[in-house]
Amino acid sequence: MPAFSFLLRVPFRLRKPYLSKDDATFHLLDNPVRKEKIFQVPMVAATGWKGALRAALWQLSYREDHEVTIRLLGNPRESDAGQAGRLHFFATFFDKIGLEVINPHSRQSGVGERGPILIECVPQGTTGTLLLLYVPFGSLDRREIA
């Protein structure tokens, strides 16, 4: 790997069930959790992690055109510059699938309208690993890397 590259591995345990939306056109449930195409295991896509980090940077006032955002995540797709970011994200896979049940109620009558709705999820307490690869390129400044 290039000089000053590193891999950050962050194991975590879900405090709440993880809900997502799969792209499957046909599924027994209305709301399946996103799954990997071949092995059908639940996952958080690398793009989901990147989007979450971009949103966190946005909350810290690092907008799309800020040098830190561009250095770490690259330019937006609409940009003509086409610079890739130094951070590379990997998908997170889980080994369990569970079900959550919701029962929407009518605001007028307070009674459930159509009965319970099953939502596929990754259950609370399931473990996963976030993997980030940092590969610097261009001019290197040790302060930027730190």
Residue 27 pLDDT greater than 60, yes or no: no
* Whole-number Å distance between alpha carbons of 43 and 128: 9
Three-class secondary structure of residue 11 per DSSP? strand
Reported pTM:
0.79
18-22, 48-52, 62-66 — most confident range: 48-52
Res 82 pLDDT > 90: no
Distant-in-sequence, close-in-space partners of 93: CB < 8 Å, separation ≥ 6? 36, 41, 42, 43, 128
What integer pLDDT is reported at residue 102 of this predicted model?
82
Residue 25 pLDDT: 62
Which bin fits 138, alpha (ψ -120 to 50), beta or left (φ > 0)? left
Q: What is the DSSP letter of 107?
A: T
The pLDDT of residue 49: 95
Confidence of residue 87 (pLDDT cuts 50, 70, 90): very high
What confidence tier does 64 reach under pLDDT thresholds 50, 70, 90? confident
Cβ atoms 33, 120 nearer than 8 A: yes
pLDDT digit string, tens, across residues 111-144? 767 778 888 899 999 999 999 999 987 777 777 6
**What pLDDT does residue 145 have?**
65
